[in-house]
Amino acid sequence: MQRRHATLALLAIGTTAAALPNGARAQNGPREGTEYRRLSKPVPVEVGPGQVEVLEFFSYSCIHCYRFEPLMKTWMQRLPKEIVVRRVHVGFNAAFEPLQRLFYALEAMGKLEALHLKAFQAIHDERRRFNALEPIADWVAAQGVDRAAFVQTYQSFGVSGKVKRAVQLQDAYEVDATPSLGIDGRFIVPGQAERTLSIADALIARARQA
């Protein structure tokens, strides 16, 4: 999802995005400037020595993120423990906030693993509109989660802080489309299906060597 089309995407739940041809490959590793970008200013990471931080910038409203999710999940399962992956729900404008709060509330309640994919399915397959607390809370309650506890978490100071931090990270990483992967506080990789992950592998290897 391109950032400049974000509002339309939230209204229509669908976007257009360019992808590299399936055969596009760099002969000597990923190509800076075309397959990934080096950040103009490094971003502080939240991992310890010997670890590499990877941030997945996504939105529940992004159809490309939904399609990318199975690939991302499989990739995460094969990563060594030194690679720390965190999802960051973008907030390109105010209309994204209900979805951000859904994500971070589920995360805070320990329900994310069970409901992350289901949230994508509700929006893109069932055509639900998660644009306010009430429809979101109704859906969460239908999944067996205590509604009152969810509403309290959704509106909490902790979730508000997570939403604010997500916007800070997306701006620091110069994110202009989803899905994108931020690598080691230094690189941003636009989502290009399987190729995205091979580029990420190469940049992670570079970070570990450094």
| pTM: predicted TM-score of the whole model, two decimal places | 0.86
Domain count, the chain: 1
The domain that holds 78 is classified in CATH as: 3.40.30.10
Q: Which helix (H) or strand (E) holds 132?
A: none
Paired with 192 in beta bridges are 194
pLDDT, tens digit (0-9, with 9 covering 90-100), for 38-56: 999 999 999 999 999 999 9
- Asked if residue 94 is part of any domain, the answer here is yes
- Cα 97 to Cα 94, 129, 132, 138: the distances in Å are 6, 13, 9, 17
What is the identity of the amino acid at 176? Answer: D
- pLDDT (0 to 100) of residue 198: 94
pLDDT, tens digit (0-9, with 9 covering 90-100), for 94-132: 999 999 999 999 999 999 999 999 999 999 999 999 999
> Roughly what angle, to the nearest 10 degrees, separates helices 147-154 and 133-142?
140
Domain carrying residue 79: 3-13+40-209
- Asked if residue 25 is part of any domain, the answer here is no
- Asked if residue 26 is part of any domain, the answer here is no
